[in-house]
Structure 1
Amino acid sequence: QQGTVTVRVLVGADGAVERAEVADSSGFDSLDDAALETVRARWRFVPARHDGVAVESWVLVPIRFALLEANAVH
C-alpha cells in the first residue's frame, strides 16, 4: 500500500495539535489512520502569528507513504 494522505491540522497557539482530520484520503484506511495517529501523538508546529502574537490556525499537511525498492546484498 502506498499513497498520500492530506491531514487538516488545527495548530494551537502553543504549537500543539488541537485537532487532526483526514482532508484527502490515500484510499487506504490503514495509511490514513497511521498519518492521523502520528500527527496527533508526535508532531508539534511553529504556530502562526498575527501582529506578533501566536494564534491557532488550520494547516494542510500532505503525508506520503511510498514503498522503496530494497537493494539486494550479495
Structure 2
Amino acid sequence: MVLTDSDWVRVPEIEYPLASRRLKEEGTVIVRALIDTRGTPKQVALQRSSGHARLDQAALRAAMGARVKPRTENGVPFEFWIAMPLAFELE
C-alpha cells in the first residue's frame, strides 16, 4: 500500500548516523512495515537496502516511531502492510 501525505499521523524521524555523514554515505532504504489496528508499526523489515548497514538500521529505527491513520473496512480496523521509502541525502 502506498501512503499519501494525509495518511501520516507522525512521519518517520530519520537520525542520520554520524559515521555515515563523515563517510558521505547516502541512499534510499525501503522499509516494509506491518501496521496494526491503531496505526502503529508492529513489525518492520528491509525491503530494499541503501547499501550501507548504518543507514539501513537507522531507517528501521525511524520506521518504528512512525504512526499512520488506521484503516477500517465496514467500521472494523484491520492490519495492513506498507512500504516506506526513507531517503538519506547529504546537503
Indicate the TM-score class for this superposition, using the shorter chain for normalisation: 0.7 to 0.9
- State the 1:52 CA deviation: 2.7
Greater gyration radius: 1
Q: Does 1:10 align with 2:27?
A: no
Q: CA deviation at 1:61?
A: 0.6
Letter in 1 for 2:39: G
1:25: Cα distance to partner?
0.5
Counterpart pick for 1:20 among 36, 44, 57:
44
Q: Once superposed, which parts of structure 1, at least 4 consecutive aligned residues long, lie more than 6 Å away?
A: none
Superimposed CA distance per residue, residues 24-43 of structure 1 (whole angstroms, 9 cap, x where no aligned partner): 00000000000001111x21
Describe the superposition over 1:33-63 as per-residue Cα deviations: whole angstroms up to 9, x where unpaired.
00001111x2111122222322110000100
Aligned-residue sequence identity (percent) comes to 36
Alignment of 1:30-45 (within 5 A): 30-40=54-64, 42-45=65-68
Rounded to whole Å, the distance in 2 between the matches of 1:54 and 1:60 is: 19
Distance 1:32 1:7 in 2: 9
CA distance in 2, matches of 1:26, 1:48: 29
Specify every segment of 5 or more residues in structure 2 that has no aligned partner in the other structure, as ranges. 1-24
Aligned to 2:16: none
Count of residues in Structure 1 that have an aligned counterpart in Structure 2: 67
1:58 and 2:81 matched: yes
